[in-house]
């Protein structure tokens, strides 16, 4: 029952020992045997009963519901989440003690009655009737009337002497007017076969054989003597009554820690001890650890010889180590493994039995002593005295520092143990003050908690130190419920991250980590630990304090220093088939034993690529225990998001948020100053190489725009890839400011590159940038802009000062070298005339004053055009999320497609902006009685990219179609919603591999909100859209055979026989099988509806475009519609229903158009990049390119890598029947 909460029943007793656990287990087993999925629960902090529940319910974990620790919201959240996780049909809650017994005598706090009322659940009362007659009716009456909010579903009378005894009891209950309405659901005879053995902490552990036999007998007894059908019907009746609108079960709205951000972080492997000696765990504790980013790895201190490999933390729960002391002592290798892990700085969290295992020696109280792990400075001794009760615990300064917890945090927990910490002569280490309250433990410098016992008396309880914190080890007798203290699990996981080992092969990651670790956090005041960074690449040069003493694990094979020589050397290396331009010191890599490595895949010249690193990790046996974090920010917003992500990776989320806020504030100050002055924004062109000519892309256009410039090249926008260009493109762009920052070079090095390669080009001195006095030609140190880390904000401040010299910007870093050319026109020795720029500096802002900072419009501005102000997109409400799937973030401006009986959701506007899940899918092929299932399960669809390509581009308001097994995406707006896109990207849906679409001809200009249709399976038509200033009505065609763009209908605002320029419209392809020269209804046409233009606003006109008549006045025709025409609208959707078109898109053979054209495209991309071979994403095979085969004769076997394909595609059967009556 994944779509709703199941029916629920509470089974309670008049007191402890009446058999309620046996009866609850029997009912669970019987209902499970009937085929129901039963979700078991246990009221209170008991650990043993839930183990028996799980065995009876086929392994479904039983969950504790403790009102005293968890509170109402925590109980309801846990109940709801666990029922949905198990897809339960029914929930059975076993109570604790008597129905009304709880934490004190004047309330129902912590009682079974409290849980029953919170869940609105009916109660079955178990009565031990062995020595009862008519008194049983009085007992039942008392329980039924004591609390009018308790709804008694019936009673089960246990330990009946025989059938006559059972009838006597039934008559007693039915004959009284006070109890005749109470239903007797069953009378169970006393049976020695179902006695559950007990121990000092409760029942015995459910061993595999004995307890299975007992549970089988209990189930048979329940089947024979309890009316389960009536019991279930009473549950359903009570459930339907309580779920009426006037008294519906109201679940709390709690923060959901199961978010996509955590799921994208490297996992923290938590080893959890799980065997007969260590078995006391709240199931919710493990769930909360997983929700915080932990991967649970179970191990057995009894039977395993060592800890599992690659652990980052250990959780030792309670249990019965005293019963297994000899086995634990004999397992010396496991004790040594735990000792080594903790001594090496690994995080260890031990509760009760776990504390006993970490002690020096365990004394069992019967003259038996056993050596334990020897980590803690005391022994433990079993005593006859029980310590039990609820505890309020506050973290000690040492624990607060280790876990970064607030010192005034109150943790809800409980204690239940018979052992105590002792010295080597058996005396307790707890020291008592004059009032008898503990004041510390002998030999323990840093306790774990300051604890107070929760009592019902009115006097103020006194606090006493408890437990121990020693390095990164925490040991306590307190059982903390992580659901009751939601800060605990994330704190443990983050602490484990702060003790993991890291290696950075990416300079941006190193710079960002340095900025995070040096960010001040005045509120917590805890120090950071940069020593966890164990190694870097040779290109990691900043910050100096961090990198100066770290080993460098890479060496570049590129030894040239000039751009021309570097390019030549790279081509030579590629020509030999060498793809990796860096060597990795695998010996040092193996010695560093990293848990996480930071890498990149954008540039094989600047750093080791992700694929090369994975091969190196595999070679040294670390691939299975080392996670990789891919750093690929493409815009300034990406950089800001990466700050948060890397901070979370290393367990410094709070400092990451502070740094993020400070950087955002500085960017906002630059924006505010520019908006206030409203200066003329110059056309800026940025180059990252003078030979060959490469215009800078990715985050650099974003920097120039944020600094108050305008891109001189229309094709440049935030996130766009850098590209080679011709000199005449630069001349045509007429830049008013020219900024050169050659990759890997200082400002003086870039000045020499300008002199050698730019100044000699025709028209250089005539550029507008060179015509001012002095010329506005700047060369910049590459590290100011080449690494998308926090230094980008320094670069934006300096660049803003260069573009607007009359405004005083609060530049934070003036030590960066920026040179300006001040020499005469057409001078020789041009590099000698570059001098440092004197930047006017305004008042520096205090980046910590962030209380009034609002989200920047840059990150939130909607790009869908509307004549009225856009409203926030409504969030789609989904009543119950099925546990087997997920839901995409609330999304707008996306594309929804169908392929192979699946819905595909591509990209769009989401929050948070750094959500990297580009593609989601939902299978709609499931059927229910011949109809589509009403339950749609969404799942993220992980994708990869062709080697060396930074795809897919995050976008919104784009266009996409499915061509066979290829998803084609075009246009839209960038991730910031600032700039239109013109790139084409393809996703192979069979392999989930993205690649760039390499095309020829003039593509459509950058635009958002266009339409795109697939015509005749070989042509794409793009129509309309807008760039933030102008709307379009041009039709541009992409031939999928030649991958060439051509304009069929040019942009024309005044042409009367074409639709007005528009955006936010819809277009569909309407195929037909006949061609009639005089009848337009027989043509293959593109139909366009609605949208908005700049004159009329929303539209509802319908236009038909015939590509076969392109270039004529008859290409467009407006259709006149009748009937109830839809009102004008924008941002809508349209589909073609009942076109009678038959197309076989799945019947591909090895020689079809789609496959051959795809290979042709991949081959063109590989050749353009100088590759002699590439990996085909459709098969995984390596394919040789023409560069490799140019000296070889054709083999004649029509190989896949040849530039020719076979034409053998079935044509669809088409039957037009245009009918436009709405």
Diameter of the chain measured on Cα atoms = 120
C-alpha to C-alpha distance for 292 and 284, rounded to whole angstroms: 12
754 and 830 in contact (C-beta within 8 Å)? Answer: yes
- Structure tokens given for 979: 């700039």
- Structure tokens given for 746: 């200082």
Let me know if 131 is a catalytic residue: no
> What are the C-alpha distances in Å from 1162 to residues 577, 725, 995, 1041, 1201?
17, 21, 8, 13, 9
Q: In sequence order, what E strands does 966-1070 have?
A: 966-970, 984-988, 993-996, 1011-1015, 1019-1023, 1035-1039, 1044-1049, 1066-1070
- Cβ burial, residue 927 (10 Å; 0-12/13-18/19+): exposed
- Structure tokens given for 349: 């969290």
- Cβ burial, residue 402 (10 Å; 0-12/13-18/19+): buried
1083 and 1106 in contact (C-beta within 8 Å)? Answer: yes
DSSP secondary structure, 815-841, as one string: -S-EEEE-S-TT-SSGGGGEEE----B
SS3 660: helix
C-alpha to C-alpha distance for 1193 and 1095, rounded to whole angstroms: 61
Catalytically annotated residue among 352, 478, 811, 976? 352
β-partners of residue 1013 are: 1021
> What are the C-alpha distances in Å from 961 to residues 400, 616, 919, 1045?
54, 39, 14, 17
* CB atoms near residue 1029 (< 10 Å): 6
Question: What residues contact residue 770 under an 8 Å CB cut-off, 6+ apart?
Answer: 738, 764, 777, 825
- Cβ burial, residue 1194 (10 Å; 0-12/13-18/19+): exposed
Question: What residues contact residue 752 under an 8 Å CB cut-off, 6+ apart?
Answer: 831
Where is 54: in which H helix or E strand?
A: helix 48-56
For 594-615, letters b (16+ CB in 10 Å) and e give bbbbbbbbbebbbbbbbebbee
Asked if omega into 965 is within 30° of 0 (cis), the reply is: no
C-alpha to C-alpha distance for 754 and 770, rounded to whole angstroms: 13
C-alpha to C-alpha distance for 771 and 777, rounded to whole angstroms: 10
DSSP secondary structure, 540-590, as one string: ---SHHHHTTSPB-EEES----SHHHHHHHHHHHHHTT----EEE-HHHHH
Where is 217: in which H helix or E strand?
A: helix 210-225
Where do the H-state alpha helices sit in 243-310?
260-263, 283-291
Active centre residues (catalytic): 352
């Amino acid at each position: 029952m994944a779509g709703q909460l199941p029916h629920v029943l509470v089974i309670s007793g008049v007191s402890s020992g009446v058999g309620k656990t046996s009866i609850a287990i029997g009912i669970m087993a019987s209902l499970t045997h009937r085929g129901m999925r039963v979700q078991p629960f246990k009221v209170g902090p008991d650990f043993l009963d839930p183990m028996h529940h799980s065995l009876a319910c086929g392994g479904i974990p039983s969950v504790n519901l403790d009102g005293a620790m968890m509170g109402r919201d925590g109980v309801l959240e846990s109940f709801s989440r666990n029922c949905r996780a198990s897809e339960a049909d029914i929930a059975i809650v076993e109570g604790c003690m008597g129905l009304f017994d709880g934490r004190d005598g004047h309330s129902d706090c912590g009682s079974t009655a409290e849980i029953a009322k919170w869940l609105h659940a009916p109660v079955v009362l178990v009565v031990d009737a062995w020595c009862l007659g008519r008194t049983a009716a009085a007992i039942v009456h008392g329980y039924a009337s004591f609390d009018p909010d308790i709804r008694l579903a019936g009673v089960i009378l246990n330990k009946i002497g025989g059938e006559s005894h059972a009838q006597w009891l039934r008559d007693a209950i039915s004959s009284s007017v006070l109890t005749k309405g109470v239903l007797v659901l069953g009378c169970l005879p006393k049976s020695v076969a179902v006695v559950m053995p007990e121990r000092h902490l409760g029942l015995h552990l459910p061993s595999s054989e004995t307890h299975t036999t007992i549970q089988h007998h209990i189930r048979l007894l329940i089947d024979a003597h309890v009316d389960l059908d009536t019991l279930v019907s009473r549950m359903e009746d009570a459930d339907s009554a309580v779920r009426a609108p006037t008294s519906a079960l109201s679940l709390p709205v709690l923060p959901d820690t199961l978010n996509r951000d955590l799921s994208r972080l490297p996992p923290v492997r938590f080893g959890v001890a799980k065997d007969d000696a260590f078995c006391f765990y709240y199931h919710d504790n493990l769930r909360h650890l997983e929700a915080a980013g932990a991967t649970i790895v179970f191990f057995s201190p009894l039977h395993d010889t060592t800890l599992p490999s690659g652990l980052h933390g250990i959780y030792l729960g309670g249990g019965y180590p005293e019963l297994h002391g000899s086995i634990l002592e004999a397992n010396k290798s496991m004790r040594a493994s735990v000792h080594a892990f903790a001594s090496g700085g690994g995080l260890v969290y031990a509760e009760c039995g776990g504390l006993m295992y970490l002690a020096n020696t365990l004394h069992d109280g019967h003259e038996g002593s056993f050596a334990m792990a020897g980590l803690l400075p005391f022994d433990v001794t079993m005593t006859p005295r029980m310590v039990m009760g609820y505890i309020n615990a506050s973290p000690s300064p040492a624990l607060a520092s280790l876990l970064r917890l607030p010192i005034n945090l109150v943790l809800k927990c409980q204690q239940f143990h018979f052992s105590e910490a002792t010295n080597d002569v058996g005396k307790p280490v707890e020291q008592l003050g004059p009032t008898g309250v503990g004041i510390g433990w002998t030999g323990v410098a840093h306790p774990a908690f300051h604890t107070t016992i929760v009592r019902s008396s009115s006097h103020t309880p006194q606090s006493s130190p408890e437990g121990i914190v020693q390095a990164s080890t925490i040991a306590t007798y307190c059982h903390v419920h992580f659901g009751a203290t939601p800060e605990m699990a994330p704190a443990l996981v983050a602490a484990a991250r702060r003790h993991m080992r890291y290696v950075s092969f990416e300079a941006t990651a190193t710079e960002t980590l340095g900025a995070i670790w040096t960010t001040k956090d005045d509120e917590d005041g805890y120090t950071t630990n940069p020593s966890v960074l164990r190694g870097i690449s040779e290109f990691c040069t900043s910050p100096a304090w961090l990198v100066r003493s770290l080993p460098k694990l890479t060496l570049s094979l590129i030894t040239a220093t000039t751009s021309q020589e570097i390019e030549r050397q790279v081509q030579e290396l590629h020509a030999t088939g060498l793809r990796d331009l860096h060597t990795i010191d695998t010996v040092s890599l193996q010695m560093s034993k990293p848990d996480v490595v930071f890498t990149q895949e954008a540039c094989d010249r600047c750093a080791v690529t992700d694929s090369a690193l994975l091969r190196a990790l595999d070679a040294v046996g670390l691939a299975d225990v080392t996670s990789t974090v891919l750093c690929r920010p493409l815009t300034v917003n990406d950089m800001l998001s990466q700050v948060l992500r890397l901070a979370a990776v290393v367990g410094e989320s709070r400092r990451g948020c502070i740094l993020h806020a400070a950087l955002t504030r500085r960017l906002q100050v630059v924006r505010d100053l520019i908006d206030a002055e409203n200066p003329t924004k110059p056309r800026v062109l940025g180059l990252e190489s003078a030979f060959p000519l490469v215009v800078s892309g990715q985050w650099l256009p974003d920097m120039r725009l944020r600094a108050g410039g305008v891109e001189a090249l229309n094709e440049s926008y935030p996130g766009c890839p850098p590209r080679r260009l011709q000199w005449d493109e630069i001349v045509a762009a007429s830049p008013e400011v020219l900024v050169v920052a050659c990759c890997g070079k200082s400002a003086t090095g870039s000045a020499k590159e300008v002199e050698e390669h730019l100044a000699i080009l025709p028209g250089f001195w005539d550029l507008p940038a060179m015509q001012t006095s002095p010329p506005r030609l700047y060369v910049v140190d590459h590290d100011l802009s080449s690494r998308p880390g926090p230094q980008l904000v320094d670069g934006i401040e300096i660049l803003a000062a260069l573009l607007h010299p009359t405004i005083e910007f609060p530049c934070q870093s003036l030590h960066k070298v920026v040179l300006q050319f001040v020499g005469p026109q057409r001078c020789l020795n041009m590099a000698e005339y570059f001098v440092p720029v004197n930047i006017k500096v305004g008042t520096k802002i205090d980046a910590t004053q962030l209380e009034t900072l609002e989200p920047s419009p840059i990150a939130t501005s909607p790009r869908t055009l509307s004549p009225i102000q856009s409203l926030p997109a409504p969030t789609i409400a989904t009543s119950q999320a099925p546990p087997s799937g997920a839901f995409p973030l609330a999304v707008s401006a996306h594309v929804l497609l169908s392929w192979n009986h699946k819905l595909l959701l591509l990209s769009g506007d989401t929050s948070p902006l750094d959500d990297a899940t580009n593609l989601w899918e939902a299978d709609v092929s499931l059927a229910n009685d011949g109809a589509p299932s009403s339950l749609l399960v969404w799942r993220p669809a992980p994708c990869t990219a062709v080697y060396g390509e930074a795809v897919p581009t995050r976008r919104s308001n784009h266009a996409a179609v499915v061509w066979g097994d290829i998803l084609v995406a075009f246009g839209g707006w960038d991730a910031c919603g600032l700039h239109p896109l013109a790139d084409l990207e393809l996703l192979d849906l069979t392999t989930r591999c993205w690649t760039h679409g390499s095309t020829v001809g003039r593509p459509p200009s950058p635009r958002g909100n266009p339409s795109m249709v697939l015509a005749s399976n070989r042509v794409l038509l793009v129509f309309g859209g807008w760039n933030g200033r102008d709307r379009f009505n041009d039709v541009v065609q992409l031939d999928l055979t030649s991958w060439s763009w051509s304009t069929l209908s040019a942009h024309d605002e005044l042409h009367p026989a074409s639709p007005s320029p528009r955006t936010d419209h819809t277009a569909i392809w309407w195929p037909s099988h006949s061609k009639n020269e005089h009848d337009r209804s027989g043509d293959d046409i593109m139909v366009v509806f609605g949208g908005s233009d700049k004159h009329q606003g929303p539209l509802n006109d319908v236009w038909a475009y015939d590509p076969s008549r392109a270039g004529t006045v008859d290409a467009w025709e407006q259709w006149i519609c009748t009937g109830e025409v839809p009102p004008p609208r924008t941002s809508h959707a349209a589909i073609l229903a009942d076109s009678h078109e038959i197309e076989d898109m799945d019947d591909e053979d090895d020689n079809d158009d789609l496959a051959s054209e795809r290979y042709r495209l991949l081959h063109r991309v590989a050749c353009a990049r100088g590759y002699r071979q590439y990996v085909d994403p459709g098969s995984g095979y390596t394919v040789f390119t023409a560069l490799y085969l140019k000296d070889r004769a054709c083999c004649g076997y029509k190989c896949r890598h040849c530039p020719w394909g076979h034409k053998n595609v079935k044509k669809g059967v088409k039957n037009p029947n245009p009918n436009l009556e709405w």
